[in-house]
A and B are shown apart, each in its own frame.
Chain A
Amino acid sequence: EADIYQTPRYLVIGTGKKITLECSQTMGHDKMYWYQQDPGMELHLIHYSYGVNSTEKGDLSSESTVSRIRTEHFPLTLESARPSHTSQYLCASSESGTAGTQYFGPGTRLTVL
């Protein structure tokens, strides 16, 4: 079944740890996105990708990095987690072209102690 997956769903980790949030989609979409959402706040785009080997930073500055080696996979990495990184991270994908609807994954809720 075509879907977009995120793991882990919840992560509690100590300061200074390296973490990778996984995002995979079986939708066949070229474009993928990472949004960050603090409680009660709007979603902010932090990374996006047009396709393989294409990544760009979004509107909100983030210390995280992303990679797009395979079409279906768009992981997000924090080299050294800090409490300020505590947030919800949502992955999304869409078809090529500007008219494509964005489909969202279930999200990863990250807490850095």
Chain B
Amino acid sequence: AQRVTQPEKLLSVFKGAPVELKCNYSYSGSPELFWYVQYSRQRLQLLLRHISRESIKGFTADLNKGETSFHLKKPFAQEEDSAMYYCALRPSGGATNKLIFGTGTLLAVQP
């Protein structure tokens, strides 16, 4: 079954501390993985995708096929990083471009 698991509903860190938002997936093929973010009173938007292998707003995520994980990391959290983060998987080979989402992790960065 295709599934995305985000084990933490809430992650609270202090400003300047490292952040790691966990994401594990279940999929037999080669998926595409994404992180979407929703800031307060804003809409859901793409943060980064694994195929781009880029750093956005200081965040990076590496696809680990052996551990079926796609954890989101940032070395030094900022207060403006506080938001809801969703990990998502797109099955390969499908024409729909559909996404399978995790339940999300609320990141709270304390001053």
Partner-B contacts on A (CB < 8 A):
31, 33, 35, 40-45, 48, 50, 56, 58-59, 90, 94, 97-98, 100-107
Contact = CB atoms under 8 A, between A and B. Distances in A.
Interface size class of B (residues with CB under 8 A): 20 to 34
10 nearest A-B residue pairs (beta carbon): A104-B44, A43-B101, A42-B101, A42-B103, A106-B43, A104-B43, A45-B98, A101-B46, A98-B97, A94-B97
Interface of B: 4, 9, 43-46, 49, 86, 90, 94-104
22 contacts: A40-B103, A42-B102, A42-B103, A42-B104, A43-B86, A44-B101, A45-B98, A48-B96, A56-B96, A58-B98, A59-B98, A90-B44, A98-B90, A101-B46, A101-B49, A102-B46, A102-B97, A103-B45, A103-B46, A104-B45, A105-B43, A106-B43
